[in-house]
Amino acid sequence: MRTTLLFFGAAAGILLSACGGEVADSNTAANPPSGSQTPAQGAKAEENGGGKTTSGVADVAADANDPCSITEPGEAKALPAGITIPASAVGLRLEFKLQNQRVELASIRERGVAPAWTTKDTQIFDPKTTSGDWVESRDAAGTLTFQAGVWDPLARTLEAAPDPNDPNSHWSNTEVCSATADFNVEIPADASEVRVYGQELQARPTKLLAWYRLR
């Protein structure tokens, strides 16, 4: 099975792709991290094949003793009170916030252009075979209509610049468990639902972080 790895340049923050092994915690198989899916939980969301957005399955709660743990939605949520879809928009910019160990939709703004799904003919991101962070939209039938990589949405990467006085110094990254984060994604305005996938930490499996019905 082909495995895809999403990663980004430290300075550019652009999406690249490569083949390789999925980044996974060595203890994942025996002791799944809090919030990871069991086979039964994975079946309920129909994440890879689309389908129903209302399953009646409860959220997988974050581990209160693990600051890196994020709540996983069991089904698509309705738009929060006060948030609406701009009429006649071509594209949408959605703002998400991480707080209280949950990623929630905070606002929706109109964009004059729709983002292009540039890899749809060559690459599909799948939480079972892809390590990284991305946003995707689906139509009313649950069919995938758009995907795009997202750089460090949980703000858990600290970048250190090279020392200008040391020719052997280079960019380096360190992971932290930030309790709050704020990030934007862009999707086509005709989407019926939006999903955000990501990793709590690089050594953990990709999981569903946010799932909303837009109409």
Q: What is the CATH number of the domain that holds 84?
A: 2.60.40
| Closest-CA residue to 24 (of 209, 199, 159) | 199
In a domain, 137, yes or no: yes
Residues with Cβ within 8 Å of 29's Cβ and at least 6 positions away in sequence, in order, are none
Strand bridging mode 91-99 / 102-111: antiparallel
Helix (H) and strand (E) counts for the chain? 1, 12
163 in a structural domain: yes
Which residue range(s) make up the domain with 130?
Answer: 4-19+60-213
Residue 161 lies in a domain: yes
Number of structural domains the chain divides into: 1
Strands 193-198, 102-111: parallel, antiparallel or unpaired by DSSP? unpaired
- The answer to whether residue 103 sits within a structural domain is yes
Is 186 part of any domain?
yes
21, pLDDT greater than 50: no
Whether 7 shows a pLDDT value over 90: the answer reads: no
Average pLDDT over residues 51-77: 89
Tokens 């004059």 -> residue: 112
> Can you give the pLDDT at residue 1?
47
Task: Report the percent of the chain where pLDDT is more than 70.
Answer: 74
Of 172, 138, 143, 141, nearest to 158 (Cα)?
Answer: 172
